[in-house]
A = this chain, B = another copy of it.
Amino acid sequence: MTEKRIPIVEKILNANDRLADRNRGLLDASRTLGLNVMASPGAGKTSLILRTLERLRGRLRLAVIEGDTAPVTLDSEKVLAAGVPAVQVNTGGGCHLDAAMVGDALAQFDLEETDLVIVENVGNLICPAAFRLGTHRNVLVASVTEGDDKPYKYPKMYRNVDALVLNKIDLLPHLDFDADRFRKGVSILNEELAVFPLSCRTGEGLDAWVEWVLAAYSTISARRM
Binding site for B on A (CB under 8 A): 40-42, 68-70, 72, 74, 93-95, 122-127, 130, 143, 145-147, 149-150, 152-156, 168, 170-171, 174-176, 201
The interface centre, meaning the residue of A69, A126, A146 with most chain B CB atoms within 10 A of its CB, is A126
A123 touching B153 in the complex, CB below 8 Å, given contacts A40-B41, A42-B147: yes
Main secondary structure of the interface of A (DSSP, over half): loop
Cα-based distance from A170 to B74 in the complex (angstroms): 27
B-chain residues with CB within 8 Å of residue A153 when the two chains form the complex: 41, 68-70, 72, 74, 123
Give this chain's copy count: 2
B-chain residues with CB within 8 Å of residue A68 when the two chains form the complex: 153
In the assembled complex, 26 residue pairs joining A and B whose CB atoms fall closer than 8 Å, in A order, are A40-B42, A40-B146, A41-B125, A41-B150, A41-B154, A42-B143, A42-B145, A42-B147, A68-B153, A70-B153, A70-B154, A70-B155, A70-B156, A72-B152, A72-B153, A93-B126, A93-B130, A95-B95, A95-B127, A122-B126, A123-B126, A124-B124, A127-B127, A143-B145, A145-B145, A171-B175
A124 touching B95 in the complex, CB below 8 Å, given contacts A145-B168, A171-B145, A171-B171: yes
B-chain residues with CB within 8 Å of residue A143 when the two chains form the complex: 42, 145
Cβ-defined contact, A70 with B152, below 8 A: yes
B-chain residues with CB within 8 Å of residue A168 when the two chains form the complex: 145
- Closest partner residue, chain B, to A170 (CB atom): B174
B-chain residues with CB within 8 Å of residue A125 when the two chains form the complex: 41, 123-124
A146 to chain B, nearest CB (A): 3
